[in-house]
Copies of this chain bind each other. A is one copy, B any other.
Amino acid sequence: MLEWCQDSNEHLPDQRRGEFMRIYDERNVSMMMDLYEMTMANGYYLLENQDTHVAFDVFYRRNPDSAGFAIFTGLEQIVEYLEGLHFDPEDIDYLRSLGQFDESFLSYLADFCFSGDLYAFPEGTIMYPNEPVITVVAPLVEAQLIETELLTQINHQSLIATKARRIVRSAEGRPVSDFGARRAHNNDAAIYGARAAYIGGVAATATVSSGQHFGIPVSGTMAHSWVMFYKNELESFRKFASIYPDNCILLVDTYDVLHQGLPNAIQVFTEMRDRGIASKNYGIRIDSGDLAYLTARSRKMLDEAGFTDAKIIISNSLDEYTIRSILDQGGQVDAFGVGERLITSRSEPVFGAVYKLCAVEEDGQMIPRIKLSETPEKITNPGLKDVYRIYDADGHAVADLITRQGEELDLSSRYDFVDPIKPWKRRAFENCTAKKLQVKIIEAGKRTSQLPSAKEIASYVDRQLREEIWDTEQRFENPHIHYLDMSPAYYEMKMDMLETNR
């Protein structure tokens, strides 16, 4: 399936990790934060006990594109950010120039490092609204300062991974390649966007930097400029074939696909065949026009010329809906290049994860905190908690369950839980098993486990969606809404807090 792209630096895992780390370290993105993190931190530093620990949850409230799920992505970058977090002398100088920070706080920042704990779903876990995918337990100031970067990484990469999965699903097994760099929201959006797209199931990216840093297969052949540079199209195709006989995808729409581009391509393929060159990977790309019609006609012309193994690749403002439509109309396509609508998630370019305080240390105990709201969905889930995924006997994920932290969960017999949307209903799990979703990733500022590669994460995503997640949750139209249930003890605690705070 992947012949048409280069399965690249598989052999460079250590090197790539070293290189990748270098990016973050040298950029020092510690100042990538909202100013209010800093004003609040300065306030806490001056007013409160520095050893007071707090807990923040990261969660989101709504799946993009009215989908049934999202893919938790961006954790590797968060871990690297937390490990590298420090403030350089020029950062301190800049903050001092703003005239609102105490010198004692600036001195504290000069020696800052993150000393807290980070719990998270494994990267690539299928996630649902309102469950804590990350929990930070750290001294007050530290926990506050990291808010923006955690959200930016999760929001961007989860958005793109989730969108990519939709596009991959619509391609029904044909490979999809990310062609989006030029329409991405700047370099990081292209580079991390390609990583996220690969985690979501895209087979390759055109973005070289992402191939280099994340070991993602890269793909790409020619642009219109190659064809336009030469005085005629046939010459341009011959030249390309002379250099790349084994990866010879010719772009046939610079002038006229059916009357010029495709006949010229067939001419070149014939010349290659006549000279005994058996190309491993050859074919055409069409980047404009009526792609359903043009690919069907092209397939016929290629087949009639004996090039039944010539590939047809299409691009041009594709997304899950246009791909599905082209295939439904009988378009003959071997692979898709998807650009702007993937790399910007054009149909819904905002992923709304938030970072909410859920507990504050008082006398050595983590005491729950809640945020109220006029809209019930916006009321937060207070306190430290455990999140489980509940599986039926066939291994399908039937629900997620929130319990109080450390609460015993015994599913060996019938387990009564509370459906927080319909708490009056009697509900129970029977013959089910549970898996705790959050894992400790950082303890006292140090990474406690090796993070998987992008390829491993992509495999994990794929396995969940094939084996664990109901297909009814994956369809585009009116997907089944995954249940997020609560243990009776957790539900009772939350209701008590609502009562008290009213």
Contact = CB atoms under 8 A, between A and B. Distances in A.
A95 B43 CA distance: 50
A218 B351 CA distance: 24
Contact of A244 (B100, B183, B207, B247): B100
Interface in A9-30: 9, 11-12, 15, 19, 23, 26-27, 29
Interface in A361-376: 369-374
A406 interface: no
A61 to B, nearest CB: 12
A386 interface: no
Contacts of A11: 97
Contacts of A15: 90
B182 A34 contact: yes
Contacts of A157: 186
B97 A12 contact: yes
A6 B222 contact: no
A221 interface: yes
Interface stretch (A120-128, A188-196, A409-417, A421-429): A188-196
Interface stretch (A111-119, A342-350, A487-495): A342-350
Contacts of A44: 229
A357 interface: yes
Given A15-B90, A371-B254, A34 B185 contact: no
Contact of A54 (B6, B229, B289): B229
B152 A501 contact: no
A481 interface: no
B100 A185 contact: no
Nearest to A189: B185
Contacts of A244: 39, 43, 100
Contacts of A360: 229
Contacts of A327: none
A160 to B, nearest CB: 8
Interface in A199-223: 206-209, 211-212, 218-223
A28 to B, nearest CB: 9
Nearest to A35: B220
Interface residues of A, number: 112
A1 interface: no
Interface string A254-294: 11100000000000000000000000000000001100000
Contacts of A148: 181-182
A206 B47 contact: no
B190 A225 contact: no
A129 B118 CA distance: 48
A243 B26 CA distance: 34
A147 interface: yes
A209 B148 CA distance: 12
A209 B94 CA distance: 10
A240 interface: yes
A224 B144 CA distance: 11
A371 B254 CA distance: 6
A242 interface: yes
A463 interface: no
A226 B369 CA distance: 12
A99 B246 CA distance: 11
A398 interface: no
Nearest to A7: B98
B94 A34 contact: no
Nearest to A192: B186
A207 B12 contact: no
13 contacts: A15-B90, A26-B27, A29-B209, A32-B207, A34-B179, A35-B220, A94-B212, A155-B183, A156-B184, A188-B188, A228-B371, A341-B350, A344-B349
- In the A-B complex, list the 9 residue pairs whose CB atoms are closest, starting with the nearest: A35-B220, A186-B188, A36-B220, A185-B189, A26-B26, A151-B182, A185-B185, A188-B188, A349-B349
Interface of A: 6, 8-9, 11-12, 15, 19, 23, 26-27, 29, 31-40, 42-44, 46-47, 54, 56, 90-91, 94-95, 97-100, 140, 144, 147-149, 151-153, 155-157, 159-160, 179, 181-193, 206-209, 211-212, 218-226, 228-229, 239-240, 242-244, 247, 254-256, 288-289, 340-341, 344-346, 349-352, 355-357, 360, 369-374, 378, 501
